[in-house]
Structure 1
Amino acid sequence: MATANKQQLAVLKRGADAWNNWRADHPETELCLAGSDVKDIDLAGANLRGANLLGTNLLRVNLQGANLEAADLRRCNFREANLTGANLRNAQLYRANMNRAILTDADLQGANLYRAYVSRATLRNTNLRGTDLGLATLVSSDMDGVKLSGARVYGISVWDMKGEPADQADLVITPDERSDITTDNLKMAQFVYLLLNNEEIRNVLDTVGRKSVLILGRFSPERKKVLDALRGALRKMDFVPMMFDFEGADTKDFTETVKILAGMCKFVIVDITSPKSSPLELQATVPDYKIPFVPVIQEDEEPFSMFANLQEYPWMLDLLEYENAEQLVDVIEKAVIQPAMIKSDQINLQKAGIIRKRHAKDYY
């Protein structure tokens, strides 16, 4: 690796004004500051265009409004640096550490941030159009208003991203050597990448869609055996039961949680026994998902008053009464699973636009 030019480094450490004056007097001089340590200095407005700063320590440096266009910034340490409004167009930032850096209003269009570390950073209104963010880490970063169109985001990590990007069009989710696949949402890009590159995840999602059954209800200690019996019976029949207990649910998050779980399942079993069952919660869920709901209730109990309205939806099956958990398990295949699977097939036909037909000869 090239070593820093001692004369240039000495000038740089005197600050941005001294550096810019020297640069104006030496416009054709090749700039080499590689491997140097210039942490904690003020370089706001410095003209470092095209400079070789490979591996330089720029910890907490003020580079506000600086010109780093086309600079070699590979493996640089920009941790906690202030790059507000800086020009980093077409800069090389391979494996650069920009964790906790401030990049508000910075321009990185066309820059190479492959495998860069940009976690807990501030990228508000930052221009990242056409950048290579392949395998970059942007965990918990503020990306509100960031412009991303045309960026390569193959393998990017954006967990706990804050804010909403302003421009997410044509994000490339494949590596250089493959044909481009694009999407228009950064979080979706991360998910699609996982699907494309992990057969196990694809298999899990396929299993979830075909075999998962959501069980809803309020399972107080005395009714816990109903839950256990249902889960045990479903497991024996090669289903994957998931349970959501109304009893411990946070009202704020309930509807969203149930919608997510229901959308993943083949059908839903909902026990509405006990007056504590939540009509409002079910009314907020059932209308939105065309999947079979199988309502069950212990005999001698009455459903909540608005339940009849939910039965207007064709994917809500007839209410099944049962004496006890043992009886419910005995009939689960014929009274629960088979009707749910038939209803699921009917719903799929409707979604596919297949017309149901009869013929007069069937009635002779």
Structure 2
Amino acid sequence: MAKREHVEILTKGVDTWNKWRESNPEEKPDLIGANLSWTNLINANLREANLQRANLRGANLSLADLSKSNLSNTDLNSAKLNKTNLSEADLSWADLTYGMVNDANLVNACLRGTNFTEADLRAADLRGADLSWANLNMANLGKANLSRANLKGANLTGANLNWANLNKADLSWADLSWTQLNGTTLIEARLIGTFFTYAHMVNTNLERAFLENCSIYGASTWGLNLNGATQSGYIVTPPGEPAVVVDDFEIGQLIYLLLKSEKLGSFIESIATKLVLVIGNRAERESVLDEICKGISKHNHLPVVFDVNRGLANSQTVETAFILAQIARFTISDLSDTKSNPPEVELLVTNALRSKEYIPDNWTDKIINDISNLGWSLKVLRCEGKDFLLSYLQEKILGAQTSHKSTTQGS
């Protein structure tokens, strides 16, 4: 039971309470089981207070100091804890459903089994916090710092973890189903038996993470960084189906699609015979590239355009185009104005894409010779315009590509 004297002082207002704390620094507030629901406690000094099983439903504790306090099993449903200092506090098994905890300091706090259902924890500092078996269902943790946090067995279904920091966090056996993990960093995180079912992961950083026996059925991933990650035992099938296990996150998704989609299987089988990579700068050559694609489609081939934009041209651009070229039947590259757009020439010469070149009249002899001397080039055909190019598309390109990949130039 709470000390009646302490409760009476607190109910007189925060100013009176804080003055009493200053005058009695040795006194540890005993507020066990106190009914403080909907009380205004903004800026209150509750450091090291014992608030076990207290009723703080709807209370406003924003900017309060609750560091090292005991709030275990406390009712904080709908409470406001914006920018509150809760460092090293014990909130185990407390109820913070719908709580407003954004920008709060929860460094090294004990949050074991705490209920944060639909709580707002945006930009909260949870470094080193113990969130094992906590319920964070539908919680908003956008930009929160959870580095080195213990999230073993935590329920994070439907939570927003966009741009959150989970570096070196332990998420073993945590449920991240339907979770938003866009831009999230999980560098050196521990993920054993973690559920990523239907998770959304765009530009998620899993560099040097440890991933083992994770469920990835239905996960949507783009631009994952798995450099140096340890991966094994991904389960790509849903519960209730025979388990299909792979050792690579991104390959796992492809394997499941191949198992379930007859069309995808036949599509992959036909890529080498029908896919045509078209390289060019759409900002300046859109009409030409569009006409080339239409011509390719008419001949029952699948055009894929790679836009080499001047502002984005770099070594990664070259590497990406090279990878696409390896799975294409052949490549058509619009190399007009190469002096102002050199990465396209680099694609041809340094990566040695087997090609046929269509060269405009204003090209220098040096560029023509550089490409022609690669050894695998077909005879150079000079192109005076897109109409000329399209008229020869079937006869000189599509019809000739039985064993060559091809790069063409429109003017």
TM over 0.5: yes
Q: Which amino acid aligns with 1:237?
A: H
> Cα deviation per residue 1:335-363 (whole Å; 9 max; x = unaligned)?
4333312x269xxxxxxxxxxxxxxxxxx
Alignment of 1:221-300 (within 5 A): 233-241=295-303, 252=314, 255-269=318-332, 280-286=346-352, 293-296=355-358
Q: Bigger shift: 122-131 or 317-326?
A: 317-326
Q: Structure 2 counterpart of 1:46, which letter? A: A
1:305 corresponds to 2:366? no
Q: Which amino acid aligns with 2:351?
A: T
Given the alignment of the two structures, is residue 338 of structure 1 paired with residue 383 of structure 2, yes or no?
no
Q: What amino acid sits opposite 1:185 in the alignment?
A: D
Distance 1:138 1:275 in 2: 37
| Secondary structure, counterpart of 1:255 in structure 2 | helix
Is 1:15–1:42's contact at 8 Å kept on the other side of the alignment? no
How far apart are the structure 2 equivalents of 1:5 and 1:79? Answer: 33
Give 1:170's aligned residue. Answer: 233
What secondary structure is seen at the aligned counterpart in 1 of 2:202? coil
Could you tell me which runs of 5 or more consecutive residues in structure 1 were left unpaired when the two chains were aligned: 24-29, 346-364
* 1:15 to 2:78 alignment: no
Deviation at 1:297, TM superposition (A): 5.1
- Preserved contact between residue 258 and residue 285 of structure 1 (Cα < 8 Å): no
1:268 deviates by 3.1
- What SS class does the counterpart of residue 182 from structure 2 fall into? coil
- 2:154 maps to 91
Does 2:110 match 1:110?
A: no
CA distance in 2, matches of 1:255, 1:126: 32
1:229 deviates by 7.5
**How many correspondences in the alignment?**
326
Residue identity over aligned pairs, in percent, reads 26
TM-score (norm 2): 0.60
Q: Structure 1 215/154 Cα, relative in aligned 2: closer, same or farther at 3 Å?
A: closer
Q: CA deviation at 1:39?
A: 1.6
Task: List per-residue Cα deviations over 1:43-94 (Å, max 9, x = no partner).
Answer: 4333343x25151625254433232323333334444444332222122222
Unaligned residue ranges in structure 2 (runs of 5+): 1-32, 36-51, 75-91, 406-411
Alignment partners' CA distance in 2, 1:36 and 1:273? 59
Q: 1:225 to 1:93 in 2, by over 3 A?
A: closer
Alignment deviations for residues 270-296 of structure 1 (CA, whole Å, 9 cap, x no partner): 68899969765422232xx5xx63344
Structure 2 vs 1, CA of residues 9 and 104 (structure 1 numbering), >3 Å: closer, same or farther?
Answer: farther
**Letter aligned with residue 134 of structure 1:** T
The structure carrying a bigger helix percent of its residues is 1
1:67 aligns with 2:130: yes
Higher relative contact order (CA 8 A, sep 6+): 1
User: How far did residue 33 of structure 1 move?
Assistant: 1.8
The answer for the alignment partner of 1:39 in structure 2 is 101
Aligned-residue RMSD, C-alpha: 4.7
Contact kept, 8 Å, 1:54 with 1:76, in 2: the verdict is yes
Counterpart for residue 195 of structure 2: 132
The answer as to whether partners of 2:53 and 2:71 remain within 8 angstroms in 1 is no
Deviation, structure 1 residue 128: 1.5
C-alpha offsets along residues 306-337 of structure 1, whole Å, 9 cap, x if unaligned? 334312x4xx4344568987776666545433
Instruction: Between 200-209 and 268-277, report the one with greater CA deviation.
Output: 268-277
Distance 1:45 1:226, change over 3 A: closer
Q: Structure 1 197/104 Cα, relative in aligned 2: closer, same or farther at 3 Å?
A: same
Separation in 2, partners of 1:183, 1:294: 40
